[in-house]
Structure 1
Amino acid sequence: MDSKAEQQLASIANISNQKERTTSYLALLSTLFSSQPPSKDALITLGRHFVTSMSMAMVVGRRVLGSYVIALCAGTSMDTTGTASITLDDEGSGENQQFMQAGINAFKSSEGEEVRRDVVEGVLAGGNLSGWCEEQTTVLRHLYAHLLQLEEDWLGAAKALMQIPLEGGSRLISDEEKLAVYIKIVRLLLECGEWGQAQTYFSRASLLIHVTKDKETNLSYKLSQARLFDFSARFNEAAQKYHEVSFDSAIAEEDRLQMLKAAVTTSILAPAGPQRSRILATLNRDDRVHSSLPPSLSTMLRKMLLEYIVRQEEVKEFEAGLEDHQRATVEGGGTVLERAVREHNVGACGKVYDNISFEALGNILNLDAENAENTARRMIEQCRLRAWIDQPLHLLYFESRSSHDTDAEAQGTAGGLGIENKEKEVEPRLWSERWDDRIRETSIKVEALAEQIQQKGLIPPIPA
């Protein structure tokens, strides 16, 4: 703290006449902002003098603190949309431009931005802020978050916004302002990978999203939802949202292609099954995938869609473009991508073989026989694979597809016309039914062999 500034503030606080006191505060404020850069200790002392005072006359405090905040914000690129506004009394309305210019001049040196950040941090760091100045301290928190964003301190910026009292304060806050703050917090938390906390604030935003018709806010909400699905490994939902956002003309063309790339990536990472097949088909019909994205992505997408076996060299090429959270390990070993490819290759084997041993399946999946069996069993349990397991013989039998189960249906369309079909789950069969079928097949084979033996005369006829 600056002792000289403290003495001056104490002297001014003892002035009984409010008009004279206000004039003295403003004169001191103007003096402090006149140097380049200003003394950060003196500015912190002045700011704390106001924001912690419980006996400050509101007519004096709001006018002086409002000018102080205006000077601190001057010259920054902070977007004031969704932040609290600062109002000055009619008597002091002409001071707005004066202190704005003073702030621009004070912080324009090379050290100015660092001093500005230290001042805002110092004023807010002590806590015990008075309720009468919530409007001004809210603007300071927005400013602090903005300055931290410029330094790419995403978590620090999110925490600054979390301190804004949006519920139960003395200030009347609109639902649109609350929504704007919540979405900003979500996007900042996602930037630093804190998707668990982001989900909490996204849930709060979801309760308010209906109140706004602002296109930018709705777009930020959809993009945040897509990224949350992505971080939480809900890749089918993420791919749908990313693809939806990629058509929005309000986004720059380069960013739209990034959204499309994210849609293709998450669709490939999604668990194998009918839902993913429909998403892959939708993306495959988007001409931008084949004309504007890297060939490795479109090749991988078509292999997944047509159920071709994916080779390891193709997996490595695709893996190079994944984000950190998409490389997370999963239960059973391996990464998200390795699991997705393993499950895809299990389904692809069904187009080539009627049955396959777990040892041979493991060779294709780069797994041992036991883990290959576990992968197939999990897919069957989740109705994502038409197959059944012969445990004694260590074989996986693929159930034959019906005559109408064509590529068009696998792609989620009827006759290739783009008409969505309802998802068909694999109908479960009782083990007793499967056993009866196998006994019937064995009996037929035995009878056929016996008839062939008799026809060749290898067994003499039984005498009457």
Structure 2
Amino acid sequence: MDVDSTITPNLASIQSISNQREKIDAYLSLLATLLTPTASAADLTAFGRHFTTSTSMAMVVGRRVLGDYVAALAAGTDYRPTLAAEADDDRAKWDAAGLAAFTGRDDVRREVVEGVLAGDLAGWCEEQTTALRHVLSGILQRDEDWLGAARALMRIPLDGSRIVPDEEKLAVYIKIVRLLLECGESGAAQTYFSRASLLIHTSKDKETQLAYRLSQARLLDFAARFAEAAQKYHEISFNSAIAEEDRIQMLSSAVTTSILAPAGPQRSRILASLNRDERVQTSLPAHLSTMLRKMLLEYIVRPEEVHEFERGLEEHQRAIVEGGGTVLERAVREHNVNACAQVYDNIGFDGLGALLGVDAASAESMSRRMIEQGRLRAWIDQPLGLLYFESRPSHDTDADAQGTAGGLGIEHVEKEVEPVSWTERWDDRIRATSLKVESVAAQIQARGLVKA
């Protein structure tokens, strides 16, 4: 890409100098004249491309001058290049010059960096152009162009001729993942997260490991694997390396995703764990803690409570699921089916549908799916259109108390619901009726209402 510039003759003149030391000094003197508060984007772009497109530039000259040029462009950004320089005070001089030239002028800096990186680049300056891509990514992040910032990092040649340490590759991959998640590109983010997963074992840096775990939690969230996401968020919320405000945000995300998770023993354990966290009651909005307790205690959730909770959801958490309705609506409906078991022995599908806000056929389909997946202890009398709720066997009581709602333990293996034959169901009902009759008769006799 050709750039119209007034310094083209100057560059040609300097290039003809044979002494390398004099050539370096001449290039740096020209660079100093360009780095002013009224810096010309065209001249600075031409200066950079003079090096990045040259295949005949002496490496000792090119890397020395281009290193200081990159340092000036990076001044004032979040990225600090680690390129070699002759002395720290020399590098500080170019930082100061860059700050003077680009303070409040990110549009000019962006135009220069994009211009330098355009077209074919020489292979000898991969280290310097990599630093420029980091600078461009930082500028785009300031503009909240998350996808553009991610793409700038994607163009970094991590597997080229330059040997890149695994730690640096891992940092780039994780940063790409976080940027892609900011703009909702979870599919592409998963690709780069998979690459990071192959390298995470090589890192001992706590900040990198924390960023990896946070990315993992958010990817699970985007993938609608809410129970797993809630567990990851809750674990991260205890990390003291994170600011208190961010820890509370992680806790809020844990509560939100636990509520969105499908009803069942796994979610019950997560809800119980969150309910024991004192911060839920003291630091989170009241509607979140109230919703959590209703889900935990299997109380029926009302539509107005659902609407208030829904206002705090992210876009991907409002996705429409198979069969109609949002993720939240499905979670609440499944929860309310389980809550009905605490109130009714049986319920007609017309009544259940009215309670859930769906038709009878949808209510039956939802109940059947939950029974098949072992998330609801019940059986269906299809001819009569009734859903019968089963009481839990007595030998399961202790395990359920520890492994599900309100318990203190963790049940590692979810139990399958054992099939119950029609004969056993019939015997159980006769036994229950007989016990009730005996109890009533004993009370009548105790009060002397019937003479023996």
Gaps spanning 5+ residues in structure 2: where? 432-452
What is aligned with 1:136? 128
Asked if structure 2 preserves the Cα contact closer than 8 Å seen for 1:277 and 1:410, the reply is no
Alpha-carbon spacing, 1:351–1:440, altered in 2? closer, same or farther (3 Å): closer
Alpha-carbon spacing, 1:371–1:311, altered in 2? closer, same or farther (3 Å): same
Aligned mates of 2:125, 2:254 — CA distance in 1 = 45
Alpha-carbon spacing, 1:306–1:3, altered in 2? closer, same or farther (3 Å): closer
What is aligned with 2:78? 78
Aligned mates of 1:3, 1:231 — CA distance in 2 = 48
The Cα shift of 1:22 comes to 2.6
What is aligned with 1:30? 32
What is aligned with 2:447? none
| TM superposition score normalised by structure 1 | 0.87
Q: Deviations 1:370-412 (Å, cap 9, x if unpaired)?
A: 1111111111121111112222222212222112444972562
Aligned mates of 1:22, 1:113 — CA distance in 2 = 28
Is residue 149 from structure 1 mapped to residue 141 from structure 2 by the alignment? yes
| TM superposition score normalised by structure 2 | 0.89
Q: Deviations 1:399-438 (Å, cap 9, x if unpaired)?
A: 221124449725626995x2323434233427xx33x557
* More deviation, 215-224/266-275: 215-224
Aligned mates of 1:409, 1:394 — CA distance in 2 = 29
Is residue 287 from structure 1 mapped to residue 278 from structure 2 by the alignment? yes
* More deviation, 291-300/93-102: 93-102
Asked if structure 2 preserves the Cα contact closer than 8 Å seen for 1:278 and 1:410, the reply is no
Alpha-carbon spacing, 1:166–1:289, altered in 2? closer, same or farther (3 Å): same
The Cα shift of 1:197 comes to 0.9
Aligned mates of 1:410, 1:6 — CA distance in 2 = 80
What is aligned with 1:56? 57
What is aligned with 1:461? none
Is residue 200 from structure 1 mapped to residue 201 from structure 2 by the alignment? no
CA RMSD of aligned residues (A): 2.3
Asked if structure 2 preserves the Cα contact closer than 8 Å seen for 1:73 and 1:103, the reply is yes
Aligned mates of 2:174, 2:297 — CA distance in 1 = 39
What is aligned with 2:22? 20
2:328 is aligned, of 312, 318, 337, to 337
Aligned mates of 2:134, 2:398 — CA distance in 1 = 54
Alpha-carbon spacing, 1:438–1:143, altered in 2? closer, same or farther (3 Å): closer
In the TM superposition, 1:425-464 aligns within 5 A as: 425-429=415-419, 433-434=421-422, 436=423
What is aligned with 1:10? 12
Question: Equivalent residue of 2:379, what SS?
Answer: strand
Aligned mates of 2:134, 2:406 — CA distance in 1 = 55
The Cα shift of 1:172 comes to 1.8
Aligned mates of 2:269, 2:5 — CA distance in 1 = 70
Aligned mates of 1:166, 1:69 — CA distance in 2 = 19
What is aligned with 2:443? none
Is residue 271 from structure 1 mapped to residue 262 from structure 2 by the alignment? yes
Aligned mates of 1:239, 1:407 — CA distance in 2 = 25
Asked if structure 2 preserves the Cα contact closer than 8 Å seen for 1:328 and 1:336, the reply is yes
In the TM superposition, 1:43-442 aligns within 5 A as: 43-74=44-75, 76-80=76-80, 85-88=82-85, 90=86, 95-108=90-103, 110=104, 112-124=105-117, 126-167=118-159, 169-406=160-397, 409-410=400-401, 412=403, 416=407, 418-429=408-419, 433-434=421-422, 436=423
The Cα shift of 1:363 comes to 0.7
Asked if structure 1 preserves the Cα contact closer than 8 Å seen for 2:77 and 2:139, the reply is no
Asked if structure 2 preserves the Cα contact closer than 8 Å seen for 1:354 and 1:398, the reply is yes
The Cα shift of 1:232 comes to 0.8
State, as a whole percentage, how many aligned pairs show the same letter. Answer: 66
Opposite residue 183 of structure 1, the aligned amino acid is: I
Question: Equivalent residue of 1:396, what SS?
Answer: strand
Gaps spanning 5+ residues in structure 1: where? 445-464
